[in-house]
Amino acid sequence: MCGIAGEVSYSDKVSNNIDSFCKMQKVLSPRGPDQNGMYIKDNVALIHTRLSVIDVENGVQPMTVKYGEREYTIVYNGELYNTDEVRNELKLCGFNFITHSDTEVILKAFIQWREGSLNKFNGIFAFAVWDEYEKKLFFARDRLGVKPFFYTIKNNSFIFGSEIKALLQHKLVESVIDKNSIAEIMFIGPGRTPGYGVFKDIQEIKPACCGYYNKDGIKIRKYWTLQDKEHNDTFNETVEKVRYLIEDSIKRQLVSDVPIGTFLSGGLDSSIISSVANSYFKDKGQQLKTFSVTYENNDEYFKKSKFQPNNDNDFISKMVDYLGCEHHLITLNNKDLADALYMAVDARDLPGMADVDSSLLLFCKEIKKHCKVALSGECADEIFGGYPWYRDREIRAIKGFPWAQSTQYRKSFIKDEIKIPNAEEYVYSRYKDTLINTSKINGISPLESRMKEMMKLNIEWFMQTLLDRKDRMSMYNGLEVRVPFCDYRIVEYLYSVPWEFKDYKSYEKGLLREAVKDILPEEILWRKKSPYPKTHNPEYLKIVSNMLSEIVENDSSPVLSFIRKKELQNLLKVDTSTPWYGQLMTTPQTIAYFIQINYWMTKYKIRII
């Protein structure tokens, strides 16, 4: 993968901002440590840092193609999984190719079909193309928002980048937040309202959107959306189609010119990916590399719960024996985990999922020593209905985001004198807007209707938080992590599959389990869902509590500018049963979240207006 950034201006020569561009490129270098480049003309600067994965020698960017009297230049971050098909179609249109990189395919596809090229792509991407003849910039983001694209418009200049930190390096962009930013951090965080960058005036192109920036300003449109339709396949036909789509997606995403491996938690989703990948590598006479994460002394302190019924380690061992793969178990200690909370903010540019972020960051750092690309099981739960809130009737019936039923609790931390939007209205309006835009065919049952809403909520909100986490923590280490379950074809198909099929045998992700029953051991196939592993060692709680205590005792700590000191003190005394964000963020993670907020405000020199 890569980092992209740039500026388009019609009032000043962008060459006056070279210092800003060099800074922007430098902060994106972890995303692309292998190569970098710039394209600068009167109105435009395009900046790139490259992680070489496909066509290592020839896929250098920015890439410029002359076509007739016109010249087009692209900066691109992503991976196209149907490169060969699109390239062959372009050859029939008369195009020749000098590389076998997907960058050249995307650029020439845009030259041929303009916006229509997006409908031909199967992949994850964020890219920008400058049309030198028409003096305008086209930009686009993949259907499910796997790759990021942030932007701001300042003094008639369109400034963009893969990460917020790149924008903040530009001399026109300030680290400023306002009352809406505070509302976002406290009522939605670590999630984000789609398209909102939290910093004032910084926005993100929403998933499945594209647009142009020219002298007339910016125009953005949605080019893809989930549409409900009649599902006419029988259950057996549905099982076969699901099996085909999953295997095809995984195999497409195993294409790489550099070493590749898989995450392996011993859960259903990562085990499916590892099993398919293992067969793929065996056919090539190669051995699959798999990676798992655990924590120091975690077995000693692990306690079963409704959401985490068992430990991963036994199941990981069963899968490793079953596959015969080259396995790497990475053990993190709690001091490193706490210290990495700061690096996780550096990576995300925002307070995030606390140690759920920092553990992934450290995990990816170790994986990078063995592989440059890895496959992960994110997004299966959103589309197959794997989360507890899909199946718990009481939670399912509650109005609001099912993973964030803590608005009152969150609101209690904010000082009275801080005038911010009403908490309940802020959250509920976003929930309601998502439901209004949920596609449903006529005549479906109330249960089916609610499940469509649940899938839409999860894909547009919860999944985006996890994709943000996955992208920033992995790319901070120059590791490309691919997500086969995020193939838009799987999502499109599953959206219209009835809940009765997904809930086969009244079991979470029953349809998925049935589709892969012959490629997994029985113990793995029917293992109850367990979330991303986190530390259960009380040492971690002690460490983060001490860290927050130091912050609370210092009256100049920036977090205290809008957070009640007394409530933070209470948080340190009482192990509350109220989760901050689903089952992943309980008391230790809530404490760590406030540590991240304070660090974020300090490191980014944030000014509140």
Q: Which of 2, 209, 210, 325 is catalytic?
A: 2
Token pair of 497 as six digits? 């599959």
**Residue 112 is encoded by which pair of tokens?**
């041929």
Sequence-distant (6+) residues with CB within 8 A of 263 are 270, 273, 290, 291, 292, 374, 375, 376, 377, 481
Helix ranges (H only) for 392-462 are 393-397, 407-411, 423-436, 446-457
Question: What span, in angstroms and rounded, lies between the C-alpha atoms of 339 and 543?
Answer: 9
Q: Cα-Cα-Cα-Cα dihedral of 461, 186, 435, 126, to 10°?
A: -30
Give all strands of the β-sheet with 2-9 in edge-to-edge order: 35-40, 44-50, 2-9, 157-161, 150-154, 203-204
With b meaning 16 or more CB within 10 Å and e meaning fewer, what string describes 480-514? bbbbbbbbbebbbbbbbbbbebbbbeebbbbbbbb
Q: Are 276 and 247 in contact (CB under 8 A)?
A: yes
The torsion of the CA quartet 187, 188, 193, 196, rounded to 10 degrees, works out to: 70
CB 558 within 8 A of CB 353: no
Residue 437 burial (10 A CB sphere; 0-12, 13-18, 19+): exposed
| C-alpha span between 462 and 599 (Å, rounded) | 24
Whether residue 2 lies in the annotated active site: yes
Provide the token pair at 564.
């009640």
Helices and strands per DSSP (H, E), number in the chain: 25, 19
The residue written with tokens 């249109």 in the block is 93
The residues carrying an active-site annotation are: 2
